[in-house]
Copies of this chain bind each other. A is one copy, B any other.
Amino acid sequence: MHSDNMLRPFFAPEGVMIVGARRSPGFGFSIPTSLIKQGWGDRIYLVNPVGGELHGKKVYESVSEVPDPVDLAIVIVPSPAAPGVLEDIGTRGVKCVILETAGFAEIGEQGMALQKEVEEISKRHGIRIIGPNCVGVVNTDNSFASVETLEEALEPGPVSVIAQSGMFGTGILDFAYERGLYISKVITLGNRMDVDECEVMNYLSGDPTTKAIMMYLESASNGPRLLETLDRVTREKPVLILKSGRTSEGKKATESHTGSLSGEDEIYEGAFAQHGAVRAENIEELMAYSAVFSTQPLPAGNRLGIVTSSGSMGVMSTDTAVSHGLDVPAPSAATIEKIKKDAPGWMNVKNPLDTGPSQLYGASVAAALQDPNFDMVMAITIIPYAVVQEFKANGIPPEVWFGDMKKLRESAPDKPFVICSMGNSRFVKEIREIAGPSTPVIFSPNLAAKSLAALWDYARRKKRRD
């Protein structure tokens, strides 16, 4: 069977057994209730030797008793029980297992031996395993999650997440949606006994709802294969990588007193770029880049037009953009003429174009998007929220002050367009609603400008490779 089809039950199972379903609060306790809430109640089966009932569902005393159809097992038993459970699952004929239990290779020799034992059993039965020491997968397409998640976080979106760390993968779900970043799938890999980042990247490369892949790695499962996979997958979709210290929990960083990047890290840096990946330096960058790369077209050049309601934010964005390889050239004569016609005396028509309280913000963004001097446009939408409240009280909707962002986005489909909106959370939320899902709204001018610079760098490298 093709690898992609083999992984399918992890994301869209027909039936799921939860082995080690627990009665007391603690790790994994509410996986069943979460799944029931998401509409999976009639497709999950709880297994625990004590039997009885839990969350209103029968508890099977053994894996062998679970009725068909079931093609995925979520295992949360204590680690010493794992080999026996895997043996039962293999005998039962289930081929996909999310082994969430910790206490394997990550804790040293004894755990390593246990992991080897589980690996041997799985191979013998032809079982594919995600984990151990992970929280498995989330798929917003069908609201399937092998981990407790907020309902709000399951709103479908264009970005899929591959994370070595369980907390990273599902942690992001908790706040990504609050920042306008919506997720398609999350896969937490844990110790990568079997399924690794390469296989998952391949799967996501063929997944229609995934438009960009964000990845958190502490090490490569297999260096050459990772680069070969990146090389292939990045021809289809952008891959954004946050690579931190080693799996042994920052051991290297802890031991290092020099503060310099390790040689290994420099090799990663170069190799990622050469093989088409985009590296982010921290979570904030990773999220901003993902929002931009998953929604925006690639720019034809590096010329950025900035329209801003705040002079200082325009200056800061220009600083960042220029120091990261973008050009911030003057607007075309036609744009200057168009804006000057209606502009008050105090308004300088240049780039960045600071519209201040001129009420020309929307018209200026429209002109910038049509300007042949700009390959991409950043619109900085900042205004004291007390003033917004006053506009509202006077019946003036934000669209009047900031333009119809959705129409603006559509007016120049080939130019990347990013909104920067730094302000009260209620304001940013309103701007996100006006902008809609096709235009990322990024809080920080620094991150907005960096994201566009990264997009240009990616476009240029892609062109060379094509």
Q: Which residues of A contact B (CB under 8 A)?
A: 25-27, 29-30, 34, 79, 102-103, 106-107, 110-111, 147-150, 163-165, 167-168, 170-171, 173-175, 178, 216, 218, 242, 244-246, 249-250, 253-254, 256-257, 259-261, 281-284, 309-325, 327-330, 345-348, 350-352, 354, 356-357, 382-387, 390-391, 394, 396, 422-425, 427, 444-446
What's the least CB distance linking A100 to chain B, in Å?
11
Contact (Cβ within 8 A) A318 B352: no
Q: A165-B312, A175-B425, A422-B283 are in contact. Are A391 and B106 (CB under 8 A)?
A: no
Q: Can you list 26 A-B contacts with CB-CB less than 8 angstroms, sorted by A residue number?
A: A25-B390, A25-B391, A25-B394, A26-B357, A27-B357, A29-B390, A103-B346, A107-B346, A107-B348, A111-B346, A150-B385, A167-B383, A171-B310, A174-B427, A216-B312, A218-B315, A244-B319, A249-B314, A253-B319, A254-B318, A254-B322, A254-B352, A259-B325, A282-B446, A283-B316, A284-B446
Which residue of B164, B352, B445 is within 8 Å of A249 (Cβ)? B352
Contact (Cβ within 8 A) B244 A312: yes
What's the least CB distance linking A249 to chain B, in Å?
5
Contact (Cβ within 8 A) A150 B386: yes
Q: A25-B396, A312-B165, A386-B149 are in contact. Are A444 and B174 (CB under 8 A)?
A: no
Q: Which residues of B contact A148 (CB under 8 A)?
A: 384, 386-387, 390
Q: Which residues of B contact A149 (CB under 8 A)?
A: 384, 386
What's the least CB distance linking A108 to chain B, in Å?
8
Distance, CA A319 to CA B280, complexed state (A): 14
Q: Which residues of B contact A383 (CB under 8 A)?
A: 167
Which residue of B283, B319, B396 is within 8 Å of A245 (Cβ)? B319
Distance, CA A179 to CA B27, complexed state (A): 30
Contact (Cβ within 8 A) B244 A30: no
Contact (Cβ within 8 A) A444 B284: yes
Q: Which residues of B contact A444 (CB under 8 A)?
A: 282-284
Q: Which residues of B contact A394 (CB under 8 A)?
A: 25
Q: Which residues of B contact A422 (CB under 8 A)?
A: 171, 175, 283
Which residue of B250, B318, B347 is within 8 Å of A315 (Cβ)? B250
Distance, CA A347 to CA B106, complexed state (A): 9
Instruction: Given contact pairs A167-B383, A250-B314, A253-B323, enumerate 16 new A-B contacts (beta carbons under 8 Å).
Output: A110-B345, A167-B309, A167-B382, A170-B384, A174-B385, A174-B423, A175-B425, A216-B312, A218-B312, A242-B316, A245-B316, A250-B352, A253-B319, A254-B350, A254-B351, A283-B316
Distance, CA A387 to CA B166, complexed state (A): 14
Distance, CA A27 to CA B317, complexed state (A): 25
Distance, CA A310 to CA B216, complexed state (A): 13
Distance, CA A350 to CA B250, complexed state (A): 10
